[in-house]
Amino acid sequence: MTDISSLDLSRLQFGMTAMYHFLFVPLTLGLSFMLAIMESVYVMTGNVIWRDMTKFWGILFGINFAMGVCTGVPLEFQFGTNWAYYSQYVGDIFGSLLAIEGLMAFFLEATFIGLFFFGWNRLSKVAHLVVTWLVALGSNFSALWILVANGWMQNPVGSKFNPETMRMEMTSFYDILFNPVAQAKFVHTVSAGYVTGAMFVLSISAFYLLRGRHVAFAKRSMVVAASFGLASALSVVVLGDESGYSMSHGQKMKLAAMEAMWETHEAPASLTIFGIPDTEKQITHYEVSIPWALGIIATRTFNTKVPGIKDLVEEAKGKIVKGQKAYGALQRVRQNPQDKHARALLNENEIYLGYGLLLKRFTDDVENAGADIVQKAADYTVPNVPTLFWTFRIMVGLGLYMILLFAMAFYYSSRQIFQEKRWFLKMSIISLPFPWIAIQCGWLLAEHGRQPWTIDEILPTFLSGSEISSGQVWTTLIAFIVFYTVLLIVDVILMKKYIKLGPDKALSQ
């Protein structure tokens, strides 16, 4: 049996817990704003059915929120247990963002969620509405700081390497906060969460209409879901385009890999709709593409080339050679801080230090690594092309499908003919898992596409882990799988219980 390294197990554990946690986050984001919208209608109209809608969907929101908290806490502990060098190397930046998320956003959300559930008979209508909006804002603020931290890992601006401390240190909080990659990632991700919340409400409401139960409740819920969902689904596409544009500037290899674009073509590049990537021959079989589309989306010009994988590997070789110089200069500066020549050489090549560190995957003698080792390190910068290629197409395909579904829902809601379209109601129920599938594909694309870097072009993943044994990680990994499986079962049971009860019985308990 092949021994799996503690690093690989740590990656598997973090990926599993993060993707599991993100089963709950999107629904929290989406439902929180829908609750605020429903309660706003109640306060403005005084119609109690909107209050009952807020309360019922609020119960399901509360179950989901609790599960999100339980699955999210272990993620932060893993930075200390499994990713100690990463935490030491970038703790000045990453740790501050996590602290702000906890103090500014999570506490706000957690505090007011109690008032949301227990304040209906203790607060005025307007005061309770303010509480509900604060819960929604707290959810989104929480996502903001997490995604700013993740965006910095994708595009590490506002920071600088300090050879004295051997750490990345913050130079501009403003640049980190307004990092274009982070901002694009934030709005794209929360919009996907809004789609998830809308699909959840749409599907459950369709279930009630098919059964002929709670018809007035379900119709109003579907109206909100249709409008909110269509606007959110359209936003996801627009904001996804912004993510593609930012990727063409900072993560060119990820862009080339998800397009399986081995060669650099004449501008503007085509967008591949379908194909079968062949990593051995470095070609894409049965390719079907749209001329000019990728070049326009990625560069917003007609004359800028989108580099292919082969050219980017050659470019990486040059960066690795400069990284060797930076690594050698760093060693001399560490030995003699007064060595002005070494410090000047380090300053000149500092931005390529991460590429020098890539060589440690293949040799301990970084400075004297030969052309064959440099070639291996350059090839190592290519992520798994088929994984990125297919996850991107699944994500986009589902996104376009959901736009069509919500457009039909909006049309039928405007004409009040939901119940006549039983095929549409069945389609809405079947579509319930699609936002989660698309979101998981998006995260796999974003995080796997960054490999082999933990922090893009700064810190390789293989250098980021803790010095722990495989046995230790196996123990925690199995424990997490068991614990999270139990949570999933409990979540499904509770959700099914209250959905089957319906708003009348659920609210009377």
Q: What is the DSSP string of 72-115?
A: HHHHHHHHHHT-HHHHHHHHHHHHHHHHHIIIIIIHHHHHHHHH
For residue 196, give the nearest of 303, 71, 104, 64 by alpha carbon.
Answer: 64
Which amino acid makes up residue 299? T
Q: What are the tokens at 214?
A: 């709670």
Predicted confidence at residue 82, as pLDDT, reads 92
Position 377 in a domain? no
Task: Domain count for the chain, please give it.
Answer: 1
Please, are residues 98 and 149 in contact by the beta-carbon 8 Å criterion?
A: yes
Q: List, run by run, the mean pLDDT of 10-residue segments along the chain (509 residues).
A: 73 92 92 95 95 95 91 87 92 88 77 90 94 91 90 92 92 93 89 96 95 91 95 86 73 91 89 91 91 84 90 96 95 92 93 95 92 95 95 94 96 85 94 96 91 94 91 92 91 93 79
Position 365 in a domain? no
Length of the chain: 509
What's the 3-state SS for 239-291? HHHHHHHHHHHHCHHHHHHHCCCCCCCCCCCCEEEEEEEECCCCEEEEEEEEC
Q: What are the tokens at 218?
A: 């379900």
Position 474 in a domain? yes
Predicted confidence at residue 509, as pLDDT, reads 67
Q: What b-and-e string marks burial along 424-458, b requiring 16 or more CB atoms within 10 Å of the CB? A: bbebbeebbebbbebbbbbbbbbbbbbbebbbbbb
Predicted confidence at residue 77, as pLDDT, reads 87
Position 290 in a domain? no
For the chain, state the CA radius of gyration.
25
The residues near 3 (Cβ < 8 Å, ≥ 6 apart) are 470
Position 171 in a domain? yes
Predicted confidence at residue 295, as pLDDT, reads 84
Position 152 in a domain? yes
Position 222 in a domain? yes
Predicted confidence at residue 267, as pLDDT, reads 86
Please, are residues 311 and 319 in contact by the beta-carbon 8 Å criterion?
A: no
Please, are residues 260 and 277 in contact by the beta-carbon 8 Å criterion?
A: yes
Position 312 in a domain? no
Domain housing 233: 16-254+382-502
The residues near 240 (Cβ < 8 Å, ≥ 6 apart) are 188, 396, 399
* C-alpha 362 chain-centroid distance: 31
| Three-state SS at 169 | strand
